[in-house]
């Protein structure tokens, strides 16, 4: 055992000195290799962190949301629906919700407007709205109502905390009365209904009962909301991955050419090693360690750089695509969410191919006559 460890140690030391003798060539390969690992790992880290944030946001979401559809488009829900649905067995609570989107002409951003129990004339805003409007607590924001009458003068009661930025950057919370004035919203209607049920296993059955009673109703389960968020992030992540395919393919071609095409200097080195008594297995082990040193170094450097890029600087390279194009960008620190399975797949796809690709051409060179190898 000790002899085997000593053998590997000596061969590894010789591998490092051999790599340093060709430091320019190997440094360029390491830089490109690291850049590819960094880009893919950053994408994986960012998607995992955003999915984790979306799960946390939807943790307190209602068990079911009921919308009303007219001609394939969402329409207002009469409050009589809420009374009928609340009478169904298994429904614990039905809450009519008022919310909508408001285009803010002065800033050019789209605001999400919701209602809560608060006095008329006051609002709470997200930190993104605060930055965009350059307004803070006790300032007044003017919103033009949809009936083109007197605009609403609303005093800021609170700026929502930074921790809620991902969900509330574009949020404006106001009273029901101000909401109906702003949008000229009809009485006796709501945007949708939020349901709380006693047994989550009965959600599908309740959804069928609601549709039977109201064919124009569209029940949306909490699990469906989670799948939608996953699909959105997977789709946007796929867009970034497609954009990187060209770079990845270029690297694969480069690495394969580097690994499978030995230079005359390397062939001469193998011939010298064979002539002084090295076995073919020793030569293969030498080249294996050379490939492993480069690929492992690139993997660790790339993963560490990606971790810093995503979790310390919030992934500025990927934000425009993965967060969406908007005037109101949420600004927040992502909580580390490293997926061990994804890292394992990344390791297998980036380290293993290059490491083992170095063995084939070396085996060919190591099996020929040492004198012929040195002459070539």
* pTM for the structure as a whole: 0.69
Token match 């069928």: residue? 208
Q: What pLDDT, on a 0 to 100 scale, did the predictor assign at position 331?
A: 63
d(CA 112, CA 265): 66
Is 236:86 a contact under the CB 8 Å cutoff?
Answer: no
* Residue 120 three-state SS: coil
Mean pLDDT by 10 residues, the chain (376 residues): 70 76 80 85 80 72 92 93 92 94 84 92 90 90 83 91 70 94 93 92 91 93 78 58 59 59 63 66 75 87 92 77 56 73 80 70 61 55
Parallel, antiparallel or unpaired: strands 217-221 and 64-70: antiparallel
Q: Which structural domains are found in the chain, ordered by start? A: 2-58+228-375 (no CATH), 99-184 (2.40.40.20)
Q: How distant is the alpha carbon of residue 71 from its chain centre?
A: 35
Q: What pLDDT, on a 0 to 100 scale, did the predictor assign at position 239?
A: 55
Please choose, from the candidates 318, 316, 329, the residue with its C-alpha nearest in 3D space to the C-alpha of residue 109: 329
Q: What pLDDT, on a 0 to 100 scale, did the predictor assign at position 170?
A: 85
Q: What pLDDT, on a 0 to 100 scale, did the predictor assign at position 120?
A: 92
d(CA 252, CA 355): 13
């Amino acid at each position: 055992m000790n002899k085997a460890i000593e053998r590997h140690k000596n061969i590894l030391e010789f591998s490092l000195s051999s790599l340093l003798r060709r430091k320019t060539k190997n440094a360029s390969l390491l830089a490109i290799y690291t850049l590819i690992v960094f880009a893919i790992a950053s994408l994986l880290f960012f998607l995992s962190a955003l999915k984790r944030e979306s799960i946390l946001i939807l943790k307190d979401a209602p068990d079911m949301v009921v919308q009303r559809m007219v001609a394939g488009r969402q329409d207002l829900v009469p409050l009589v629906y809420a009374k009928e649905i609340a009478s169904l067995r298994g429904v614990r609570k039905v809450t009519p919700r008022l919310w909508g989107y408001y285009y803010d002409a002065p800033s050019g951003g789209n605001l999400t407007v919701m209602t809560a129990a608060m006095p008329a004339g006051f609002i709470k805003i997200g930190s993104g709205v605060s930055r965009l409007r350059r307004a803070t607590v006790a300032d007044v924001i003017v919103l033009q109502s949809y009936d083109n009458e007197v605009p609403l003068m609303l005093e800021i009661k609170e700026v929502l905390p930074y921790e809620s930025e991902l969900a509330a950057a574009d949020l404006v919370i106001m009273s029901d009365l101000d909401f109906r004035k702003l949008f000229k919203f009809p009485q006796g209607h709501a945007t949708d209904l939020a349901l709380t049920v006693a047994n989550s296993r009965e959600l599908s059955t309740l959804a069928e009962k609601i549709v039977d009673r109201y064919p124009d109703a569209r029940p949306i389960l909490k699990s469906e909301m989670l799948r939608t968020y996953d699909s959105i992030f997977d789709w946007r992540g796929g867009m970034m991955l497609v954009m990187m395919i060209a770079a990845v393919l270029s690297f694969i071609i480069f690495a394969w050419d580097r690994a499978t095409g030995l230079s005359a200097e390397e062939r001469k080195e193998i011939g010298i090693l064979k002539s002084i008594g090295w076995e073919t297995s020793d030569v293969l082990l030498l080249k294996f360690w050379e490939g492993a040193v480069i690929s492992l170094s690139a993997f660790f450097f790339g993963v560490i750089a990606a971790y810093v890029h995503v979790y310390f600087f919030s992934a500025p390279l990927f934000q425009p695509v993965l967060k969406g194009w908007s005037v109101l960008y949420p600004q927040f620190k992502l909580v580390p969410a490293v997926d061990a399975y994804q890292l394992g797949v990344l390791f297998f796809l980036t380290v293993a191919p290059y490491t083992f690709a170095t063995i084939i051409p070396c085996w060919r060179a190591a099996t020929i006559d040492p004198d012929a190898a040195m002459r070539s």
